[in-house]
């Protein structure tokens, strides 16, 4: 029995080559998000922000500069949060639709 179970498993490469995993491998939306996360400009943004923060001192003026950056960062995070919410809503709608029709 164990050998018959093992024979049913295939490597991801085998599945892609045979076309059985095309639907799973062809996830442009996921790839878009994954590539953005490691995109050179995004990585550089993290590095530059850390460097700029380390260059600031401990004056009240520096605190105000940090506060201004926090405000801008909050706006950026909010825009990503809205996009994430759209993805979550669409996902939930699709799943709920299938469950309500008895398709799982």
**Average pLDDT of span 74-102:** 94
Looking at the whole model, is its pTM more than 0.85? no
Label residue 21 exposed, middle or buried (CB < 10 Å: 0-12, 13-18, 19+): middle
Q: What is the pLDDT of residue 28?
A: 85
And the tokens for 32? 């878009």
Predicted local distance difference test score (pLDDT) of residue 16? 55
pLDDT digits (tens, 9 = 90+) for 13-49: 565 566 655 555 688 888 889 899 999 999 999 999 9
What's the pLDDT at 26?
A: 81
The residue that leads in pLDDT, 4 or 96, is: 96
| Token pair in block for residue 41 | 């400009």
Domain residue extents for the chain: 1-27, 39-100
């Amino acid at each position: 029995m164990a050998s018959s179970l093992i024979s049913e498993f295939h490597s991801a490469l085998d599945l892609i080559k045979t076309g059985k995993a095309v639907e799973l491998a062809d996830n442009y939306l996921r790839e878009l998000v994954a590539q953005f996360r490691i995109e050179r400009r995004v990585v550089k943004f993290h590095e530059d922000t850390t460097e700029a923060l380390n260059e600031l001192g401990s004056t009240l003026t520096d605190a105000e500069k940090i506060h201004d950056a926090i405000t801008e960062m909050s706006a950026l995070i909010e825009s990503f949060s809205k996009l994430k919410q759209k993805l979550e809503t669409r996902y939930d709608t699709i799943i709920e639709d299938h469950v309500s029709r008895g398709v799982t």
